[in-house]
Amino acid sequence: MARPLVLDTSALLAGRPLGPGEDTLVPEAVSAELRPGGRDRRHLDLLLAAGARLVEADPALRAKVRAEAQVGGEAGRLSAADVDVLAVALGVGGEVATDDYTVQNLARRLGVPVRAVAQQGIASEYRFVPRCTGCRRILEAPAEECPVCGSPVRMVKDRAFRS
């Protein structure tokens, strides 16, 4: 039996035909990201009319996704819809359709299969680390500002990490 296909917002924004003939799930949080009456919302409405289902993510699985995102440094890069997409996929043993590289990266660590839609998928896993925008130091933990120079801190790909 085929895995259920869980659609991320980026999959709907790509405008590619996805879902017909498959068990297609769309988390409620993904639906909430689409503007009512817009092209992408109409695309979702057509999928729903063809049998796709709106679903709610399990809170315990949301917590699991957020915990893994903390480990990899992606926590600040994920929307509520991103978390729900991965939580739903974990709950149903599904495959995620997304072009979001951060979601693909986290899915890989969670053991969730990914289907790229309009982009090439990620080639390898990566992690994020907090780096000062001023003195460029890599910090031990995320922070709003650098404890050394006071400049803002941003999460960046860890170039030293390779999967």
8: which 2 tokens?
A: 């991320």
pLDDT of residue 37: 84
- CA-wise closest residue to 100 among 4, 2, 14: 14
pLDDT of residue 158: 75
Q: Cα(116)–Cα(100) distance, rounded to whole angstroms?
A: 9
The alpha carbon of residue 162 and the mean position of all alpha carbons in its chain are separated, in whole angstroms, by 20
Q: Cα(25)–Cα(7) distance, rounded to whole angstroms?
A: 6
Is 46 in contact with 12 (CB distance < 8 Å)? no
Residues of the chain with pLDDT under 70: 1, 17-20, 119-126, 159-163
pLDDT of residue 17: 67
Q: Cα(151)–Cα(135) distance, rounded to whole angstroms?
A: 8
pLDDT of residue 161: 56
pLDDT of residue 141: 79
Is 6 in contact with 88 (CB distance < 8 Å)? yes
pLDDT of residue 146: 93
pLDDT of residue 111: 94
For the chain, report the end-to-end CA distance as a whole number of angstroms.
31
